[in-house]
């Protein structure tokens, strides 16, 4: 009986210790956000382009308790992907020293209108999609996709057919910037905008009306068919 008491006491102590450890871990956990250096008189002027030298001289990492993450959700997190995506960004407004960096400070360089991003000879078009079909959350602007649809053949059987190959995704819902889309947790969208050669788009639209159900986007490896040795991960 005494041994059982000791065992229960040990388990209770272990439980209390674990709860205490979790509480301490939660209190001491930190996150890091990006901000400008706190330098007297420093104001980053609108039109300033961010490059490696700018990041090294004027951008610092600011640690803070994880408990404040919700209050600072608007500030850019300090991680390798965010730092890479900052390069080439242009300040669209004057930003004073010490300010936390946020998406609202920038616009992309070059700041081209959406229609000017369409390659010569191509046409842009949008199709309705369901995010839980195909590649879903992995689809971002710049992705290469095939569009597949179901059809009824001459034997009254349902068959699938590739309507469009290697189309470039220009926008996913309202997001035409992959970096911004990745920073948005579980972004919702109901349509995807792509570009492809004019003849391919016309053929696609003629076939689309004959499909008997929703279309599916399938993600391609961007290295497929690419020349050179810079691409990795593609099985030959």
φ/ψ of 108, rounded to 5, equals -75, 150
Domain 26-107 has CATH 3.30.300.160: no
- Distance CA(128)–CA(146), nearest Å, equals 15
Tell me the average pLDDT across 177-185: 61
- What integer pLDDT is reported at residue 133 of this predicted model? 61
Does residue 132 register a pLDDT over 80?
no
Domain ranges of the chain: 26-107, 117-219
- What integer pLDDT is reported at residue 199 of this predicted model? 93
Neighbours of 34 (CB within 10 A): 20
pLDDT band at 220 (very low <50, low <70, confident <90, very high): confident
Helix (H) or strand (E) run with residue 148 in it: strand 144-152
Q: Are the C-beta atoms of 83 and 31 separated by less than 8 Å?
A: no
- What integer pLDDT is reported at residue 131 of this predicted model? 61
DSSP code at position 116: G
- What integer pLDDT is reported at residue 200 of this predicted model? 92
Kindly report the pTM of this predicted structure: 0.49
Q: Return all residues near 211 (Cβ < 8 A) that are at least 6 apart.
A: 149, 150, 151, 163
């Amino acid at each position: 009986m005494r041994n059982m008491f000791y065992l229960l006491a040990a388990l209770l102590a272990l439980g209390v210790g674990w709860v205490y450890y979790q509480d301490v871990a939660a209190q001491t956990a930190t996150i890091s956000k990006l901000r400008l250096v706190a330098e007297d008189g420093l104001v980053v002027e609108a039109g300033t382009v961010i490059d490696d030298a700018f990041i090294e001289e004027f951008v610092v990492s600011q640690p803070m308790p994880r408990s404040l993450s919700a209050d600072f959700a608007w500030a850019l997190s300090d991680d390798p992907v965010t730092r890479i995506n900052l390069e080439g960004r242009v300040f669209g407004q004057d930003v004073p020293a010490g300010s936390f960096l946020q998406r609202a400070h920038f616009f992309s360089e070059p700041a081209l209108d959406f229609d000017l991003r369409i390659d010569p000879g191509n046409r842009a078009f949008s199709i309705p999609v369901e995010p839980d079909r195909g590649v879903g959350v992995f689809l971002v602007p710049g992705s290469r996709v095939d569009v597949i649809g179901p059809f009824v053949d001459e034997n009254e059987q349902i068959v699938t057919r590739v309507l469009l190959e290697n189309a470039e995704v220009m926008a996913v819902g309202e997001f035409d910037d992959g970096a911004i889309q990745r920073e948005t947790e579980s972004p919702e969208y109901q349509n995807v905008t792509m570009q492809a050669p004019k003849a391919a788009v016309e053929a696609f639209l003629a076939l689309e009306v004959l499909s008997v159900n929703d279309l599916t986007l399938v993600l391609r490896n961007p290295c497929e068919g690419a020349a050179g040795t810079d691409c990795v991960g593609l099985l030959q």
